[in-house]
Amino acid sequence: MSLIKFKYLRKQRIAILILILTLTSMLFSITAYSFLGFYNGFTSYVGEGKGVIAIYSKAGSTPFTGIVPITAVNKIASVKGVIATSPEVIAPSMINGQSVFVRGVLPQELAQLNQITITQGSSLNLNNTDSAIIGQGAAQRLNLKTGDNILVISVLSQKYVQLQIKGIFQTSSSLNDEVLVPLYVGQWLRGLTYNEVTLIRVKIDPAQTNANQLYQVIANHTQTAKPSPSPTPTSEAQKELQALIPLTSSGINIQNIGVEESQQFMSSYLDRYGISQDTLIILSIIVLVFASGTATCAMALFIRQHSSDIDILRSIGASTKKIKIDLSLKMLVWALIATTIGTVISALLLIIFQKIGYLQVLSHTITFQLDPLIIVANIILLSLLIMINVARAELKQ
C-alpha cells in the first residue's frame, strides 16, 4: 500500500506547520548571518587579503588603543617585497552626537592598500590639516555632504578639531564607514606624539617576504639608544612623514611589537575573549535549539490533529513504521521548503536592515553574505528535529 498517494493530511494544517518551520529557520538564519557578519567584518577591519600585514602593539587591549613607534616604517620600507607602508592612527570620536572612527593616514600610501574612489569633491592631501574626506556610508549615517564643517571630539583624549568635508569617497572596505584625515590630525585627536601611531599596515608581495621576515628585520634593528635625528628619507612613506614635521628616531621595545597578517591580527583580539567563527555558529545552533521548542509542539499537535486519519490507515493495514516513514518524508520536504523561504526572507530583511543602518558594530556596517554552510546546517537541524519528533510520536497500535 502506497501512503505517498493517499491524501490523509489537511492542507491548511500543512501550511501552518510550514509557517512555523519557516519562522524557526528565519530565527536561526538571521542570528547566524548577523554573528558571522560581525566576525568577518571585524577580522577584515584592517585589510582584506593575504597581502596586507599589520604591525601593532601587543600591549593594546583593543586594535584601537595600541601605540606603535613610527620608526618601524624606516626599518621595513626598503625591505624587498614591501610595496607600501601605511602608518595610521585610529581615533574613536564623536561627530554630530554620533560615534565614528576617524583615521589619520598618509593619503598616497593608503591609496596603495585600499582602492578609494572620490564620488564628490576632491581627494585628501597630507597638508590639508583643516580638511577631511568621509566614506559614503558614514556620510549617509551622519547626513554630511561636501563643504560641511564638522566638530570632531575625540573619545580617548580631551582633544577636538574643526574640519571641513573636502570630499566623499566610496570603497569596498571598512573605510567606507570612517572619516579620513591627515596623519598629524589623527595623532592630535588620539593624543599621540608625532612619532607614534596606532598601527602600521604594510602591503607586501607574498612571494618575496612575509610577516615573520618583517618581524625579524624590526628585531634586528631595534634601537635602544636615545632619540636622534632621523636619517635621510628613502621611501615615499618617509618623505610624506617628514613633509611637515621633522621626525626623530625613537627606540622600539620589540617585546610589545606584533607582526601578523591583517585578518590573523584581528582574530587574535577576538580569541582573547573566546570568540571564534565556530563559537558563533554553535551559539546560532543553540538559538535554533531553543526556538525549536515551538516547532516541536507544532509537530506534536500536527500529528495529534490527524490521529483519526492515522487510525483509519491503521485499521486498513498500514503499519506504524510505514506511517512514520511517510510522515517523515513529507515533513522533510516541508522543511526544505521552509528553509528556502526562511533563507530568502532573512536575506531580504538583513539587506533592508543594512541599508537603513541597523546592522552596525563599532560604528561599522556589518556586511551580509550568503553562506552555504549556514543553509546546509539549517536544513540538517530541521531534518533532525523532524525525525526525532516523528520517531517519538505515539501512534495507536
- Among 55-69, 73-87, 116-130, 214-228, the minimum mean pLDDT is found in 214-228
Mark 192-219 as b/e (b = at least 16 C-beta within 10 Å). Answer: bebbbbbbbbbbbeeeebbbebbbebbe
Query: In this predicted structure, what is the pLDDT of residue 11?
Result: 83
Q: Which residue has the higher pLDDT, 281 or 209?
A: 209
What interhelical angle do 11-43 and 372-392 show, nearest 10?
140
Give CA separation, 67 vs 55, 193, 194, 199, in Å.
10, 10, 12, 7
Query: In this predicted structure, what is the pLDDT of residue 330?
Result: 86
Helix (H) or strand (E) holding 275: none
Alpha-carbon torsion 261, 264, 270, 272, what sign? negative
Q: How confident is the model at residue 1 (pLDDT cuts 50, 70, 90)?
A: very low
pLDDT digits (tens, 9 = 90+) for 285-298: 777 667 677 777 88
- Give mean pLDDT, residues 87-109: 91
Q: Of 81, 83, 175, 80, which Cα lies nearest the Cα of 135?
A: 175
What interhelical angle do 11-43 and 320-355 show, nearest 10?
50
pLDDT digits (tens, 9 = 90+) for 333-391: 888 898 889 888 988 888 787 776 666 655 666 666 677 877 887 888 888 888 887 88
Q: How many CB atoms lie within 10 A of CB 121?
A: 18
Report yes or no: 17 and 298 within 8 Å, Cβ to Cβ.
yes
pLDDT-above-70 percentage for the chain: 75
pLDDT digits (tens, 9 = 90+) for 173-215: 778 889 999 999 999 999 998 889 998 989 999 899 988 888 8
Q: Of 247, 248, 245, 249, which Cα lies nearest the Cα of 127?
A: 245
What interhelical angle do 277-305 and 372-392 show, nearest 10?
40
Query: In this predicted structure, what is the pLDDT of residue 274?
Result: 57
pLDDT digits (tens, 9 = 90+) for 125-179: 988 889 999 999 889 889 999 999 999 999 988 899 999 999 999 987 778 889 9
Q: Strands 178-182, 98-105: parallel, antiparallel or unpaired by DSSP?
A: parallel
Please report, for the chain, the start and end positions of each structural domain, with discontinuous segments joined by +. 11-43+276-392, 52-272
pLDDT surpassing 80 at residue 269: no
Q: Which residue has the higher pLDDT, 347 or 35?
A: 347
Query: In this predicted structure, what is the pLDDT of residue 218?
Result: 84
DSSP output for 29-60: HHHHHHHHHHHHHHHTTT-SSTTEEEEEETT-
pLDDT surpassing 90 at residue 315: no
What is the value of pTM for the model shown? 0.69
pLDDT surpassing 50 at residue 231: no
DSSP output for 106-164: -HHHHHHHS--EEEEE----TT-TTEEEEEHHHHHHHT--TT-EEEEEESSSS-EEEEE
pLDDT surpassing 50 at residue 230: no
Report yes or no: 52 and 262 within 8 Å, Cβ to Cβ.
yes
* 257 vs 146: CA distance, rounded Å: 39
* 183 vs 127: CA distance, rounded Å: 10
pLDDT surpassing 90 at residue 123: yes
- Among 36-50, 220-234, 289-303, the minimum mean pLDDT is found in 220-234
pLDDT surpassing 50 at residue 253: yes
State the chain's mean pLDDT as an integer.
79
